[in-house]
Chains A and B, each alone.
Chain A
Amino acid sequence: MSKKIIEITDEGNAFLEKVNELSGQVVTLCDQCGTCSGCCPMAEEMDITPSQINRMVQLGQVEVLDLEAIWLCASCFTCTVRCPRGLDPSKICESLRQMTLRKAIDYMDIRDISEKEMRRLPQIAIVSAFRKFTG
């Protein structure tokens, strides 16, 4: 497998700035100690670990948005209370999700759901289904 080569570009820096702005965090503060990955209950299911998410953002790799990991984050905040640098990784994940969500592309049309199904589905399931299938 050939390794991908990263270049530090202005676009990458702009992406980092955008994540900083949306999350209210300074992602360059992350020391890559791995505390967040170690305590994350979902890390084993993720394609990359939470600390790898931070690293990709630091290096301006927009591809992080295409990975599953940010959607598996349950926002349980375990990482937030344990980060030795006072960062909030769950907010970083949330900002990455927001970047996709704000593209406002819907994959699910509400009109495709039958009335019977609509009645049986809990509201929260409909909301989360919209979120999961957006972007």
Chain B
Amino acid sequence: MRIGVYVCHCGGNISEVVDINKVVEAAKLEGDVVLVKDNSHLCSNDGQTLMLNDIKEYKLDKVVVSACSPQFQGLTFMRVMETAGLNPYVLEMANIREQCSWAHYNFPKEATDKAIDLTKIAISKVRLDTPLDSKKMPIGKRVLVVGAGIAGIQASLDLGDAGFKVYLVEKEPSIGGHMAQLSKTFPTEDCSACILSPKMSDVPANKNIELMTYSQVESITGYLGNYEVTVNKRPTYVDPVKCTACGDCVPVCPIDVPDEYNEGLSLRKAIYITSDIAVPHSYVLDTDHCLGLFPLACSKCRDACEADAINYDLYPEKVKFTVDTIIIATGFDIFDAKKKPMFGFGKFENVYNALEMERIIGCEAEGKKLAEVGKKIALIQCVGSRDEQINREYCSRVCCMYATKLAQLMKRSDPKKDISIFYTDMRTYGKGFEEYYKRAQKSGVKYIRGRVAEIEENPDTKKLKLKVEDTLSRSFIESEFDTVVLSVGLEPNKGTETIRDILRISKSSDGFLQEAHPKFRPVDTLIEGVFLAGTVQGPKDIPDAVAQASAAAARAIRLMNQGEYEAEPITAWVDEDICAGCGICVGICPYDAITSEEQSDGTRLAVVNEILCKGCGSCSGACPTGASQQKWFDITQLRAMLEAAL
């Protein structure tokens, strides 16, 4: 056996703390090691060439790289092994950056000792490594996109245009998401509905996209290339083909419900269409509020429908299909301002949240008019963001700019409006944002740095008195306003939790879904073939959501376009001679990859599905007899590693 050991400086990231020479000298003393070298950037082209040449020149058959985390550059060095004609699984990496120089930067001696130990452990493991072959698995061109907001729409259109079959599932009666509710977009002030509606109508027009609205994903089983999906489709009781959207059914309906699309500022009937730009453009009968279908209590809408589009004899449908990859784009909810009672949202008449104000500005025809909200208006920032009291530590990223936009739009409707924005910090990081902020200041919008402590309502005039410290002049401001708008933050959508449970995707501490790597895999999840798009991953504005959606589509295409993929070879395997068939591993496997199968002689045996198995090692740990082992991490290797460490 001829082992080569490489120690990387990582351009100072390692060498400024760890004494590289000591690591090199220690490695030279290990058995089977024929070559030890150090390099400033082993992952660079130069470093890779050095390794390639050494493997040939010194006839190395196994390699240890003491550098960064294998999560970071593992693939790079595996590729070097392949190019050199060696199996990529006779390579070991000792993580002397994240686990030594970065973790113990104040303790160089101890960090060096640890680096030596980790390198020795890696050498002892590589001695016992055997070549592993990855299996080629077929993969098709079908994608499930969950959520049809702007991110879901963009991902679906990209995939559909590229010739992939898309199943787009949306729980609301219309696609479009929150963007369809907005008045205008910052910083360009494009009319939100006007730029969104052509994209929305592109969806049903795309022959590769199968749109399922009023539907929810019920279950997903399987693996990359073979995800079996069940969708629960609610009946709308209105045939979208026959419905001409004439609206004759609306006046006859006796039920009034707050209109969700208008944030409850106006009323809708139990039979309704979400908005003028709704896609599919068809009415929906909301059975949660209808007087009743079973037994039929009213039937006035059916009698009024000339197109004969209404049919009450429909039942929820379960639709099953198979896809190869999945994109999650379930979006966000706005923070419920009632959780901050000092602002009196829901209690004081003239306190609105920002989405309500969007509707007031965007939808002058119905509900509250902008002219009615008075002249003196205050916007309060960071309601539901940057606040540990309510467990929202993060910045919601869009509020500074949408408040600026609302202020601009209000100012434009009436230049006499006196608008103050009470902010914590102004964050105008995006393209054109700072210029837009400056424009708002120029138009006379007052920016006052301070978080509003509380709001009092005058019971007679309904005016609102704010109390706040202006932290720039260090003086108190107490002032009366006609209207207060709360710039509420973004939080994970409640529907996301369902899909998270089904797919077992991890979430970050803020509650949004976690990407596989914050820098290099921002749209991937740790589940193979499952990607994230839009605000489901964290608060972001429209251009960022669209960019991420296209990125998710591209990442999905990258997997599917080859027609086959290499399955992870590090899986569990069961020694049939030892397995007692107890079935503990079956229950413990988080991926449902192990089944207990009855043999011809009546005994039971655990059988591993190598495609489903992600190599987590749970079964190996739980197995009472040691029959269940993980390839590349079997018990002899672990023992050798322990011995090297002690």
User: Apart from A13-B418, A28-B446, A31-B441, what are 5 other A-B pairs with CB-CB below 8 Å?
Assistant: A6-B479, A26-B444, A29-B438, A58-B446, A59-B473
B476 at the interface (CB under 8 A from A): yes
Binary flags per residue of A21-56, CB closer than 8 Å to B gives 1, else 0: 000001011011000000000000000000010011
Q: Chain A residues near B444 (CB, 8 Å)? A: 26, 28
Q: Are A26 and B441 in contact, CB atoms less than 8 angstroms apart?
A: yes
- CB pair B478–A7 under 8 Å, yes or no, is yes
Q: Is the interface of B mostly helix, strand, loop or mixed?
A: strand
Q: Is A121 an interface residue (CB 8 A)?
A: no
Measured CB to CB, the nearest residue on chain A to B477 is A6
A4 within 8 A of B: yes
With a CB–CB cut-off of 8 A, which chain B residues contact A59?
A: 446, 448, 470, 473, 475, 477
Q: In the complex, A43 Cα to B438 Cα: how many Å?
A: 26
Contact A4 B475 (CB under 8 A): yes
Proximity bits, A1-19, B CB within 8 Å = 1, else 0: 0011111111001000000
**Are A3 and B442 in contact, CB atoms less than 8 angstroms apart?**
no
- Measured between beta carbons, the chain A residues less than 8 angstroms from B442 are 26, 28-29
Q: Is A85 an interface residue (CB 8 A)?
A: yes
Expressed in whole angstroms, the Cα–Cα distance for A31 and B440 within the complex equals 12
From B445, B446, B448, B479, A7 is in contact (CB under 8 Å) with B479
Pairs across A and B, CB under 8 Å, 20 listed: A3-B475, A3-B476, A4-B476, A6-B476, A7-B478, A7-B480, A8-B376, A8-B420, A8-B446, A8-B477, A9-B479, A28-B445, A31-B441, A32-B449, A52-B473, A55-B470, A55-B472, A55-B473, A58-B446, A59-B477
A9 to B446, CA, bound (A): 13
Say yes or no: A5 contacts B446, CB within 8 Å.
Answer: no
Q: Which residues of chain A are within 8 angstroms of B376 by Cβ–Cβ distance?
A: 8
Closest to A55 in B: B473
Taking Cβ atoms with an 8 Å cutoff, the residues of A that contact B are 3-10, 13, 26, 28-29, 31-32, 52, 55-56, 58-59, 85
Residues 348-382 of B, flagged 1 when their CB comes within 8 A of A and 0 if not, give 00000000000000000000000000001000000
Instruction: Kindly state whether residue B447 has any CB partner on chain A within 8 Å.
Output: yes
Residues 306-336 (chain B) with a chain A CB within 8 angstroms: none
Chain B stretch 476-507: residues in CB contact (< 8 A) with chain A: 476-480
Question: What is the count of residue pairs linking A and B with beta-carbon distances less than 8 angstroms?
Answer: 55
Note all chain B residues with C-beta closer than 8 A to A85.
438
Q: Which residue of B lies closest to A58 (CB)?
A: B446
Q: B438, B472, B477 — which one has the most chain A CB atoms within 10 A of its CB? A: B472
Contact pattern, B 609-634, Cβ under 8 Å of A = 1, otherwise 0 = 00000000000000000000000000
A5, B447: Cβ atoms closer than 8 Å: no
B residues near A32, Cβ cutoff 8 Å = 449, 472
A59 to B448, CA, bound (A): 9
Min C-beta distance of A96 to chain B, whole Å: 16
Instruction: Report how far A10 CA is from B479 CA in the complex, Å.
Output: 11
In the complex, the answer to whether B441 meets A7 with C-beta atoms within 8 Å is no
Residue pair A5, B478 in contact (C-beta under 8 Å): yes
Separation of A72 and B614 alpha carbons in the complex (Å): 74
Q: Are A5's CB and B477's CB within 8 A? A: yes
Please report which residues of chain B, range 430-474, place their CB below 8 angstroms from some CB of chain A when the two chains form the complex: 438, 441-442, 444-449, 470, 472-473
Residue of B nearest to A51 (CB): B472
Interface string of B78-98 (1 = CB under 8 A from A): 000000000000000000000
The answer for the CA separation of A10 and B418 in the assembled complex, in Å, is: 9
CA distance A26 to B444 in the complex (A): 8
User: How far apart sit A5 and B441, CA to CA, in the bound complex (Å)?
Assistant: 24
CA distance A3 to B446 in the complex (A): 22
CB distance from A4 to the nearest CB of B (A): 6
B449 contact set on A, CB distance < 8 A: 32
Find chain A residues with CB under 8 A from B478 CB: 5-7
Q: Nearest-CB distance from B206 to chain A (Å)?
A: 47
A120 to chain B: closest CB distance in Å? Answer: 45
**Cα-based distance from A13 to B418 in the complex (angstroms):** 8
Expressed in whole angstroms, the Cα–Cα distance for A5 and B470 within the complex equals 10
The answer on a CB contact under 8 Å between B479 and A8 is: yes
Binary interface profile of B, 404-443, with partner A (CB < 8 Å = 1, else 0)?
0000000000000010100000000000000000100110
Q: Which of B420, B441, B473 has the most CB of A within 10 A?
A: B473
CB distance from B147 to the nearest CB of A (A): 39
Q: Which residue of B lies closest to A28 (CB)?
A: B441
Q: Which of chain B's residues have a CB closer than 8 A to the CB of A6?
A: 470, 475-479
Contacts of B446 in A (CB 8 A): 8, 28, 58-59
- Residues from chain B with Cβ under 8 Å of A26 in the complex: 441-442, 444
Residues of A within 8 A of B475 (CB): 3-6, 59
Determine the chain B residues whose CB is within 8 A of the CB of A5 once the complex forms: 475-478
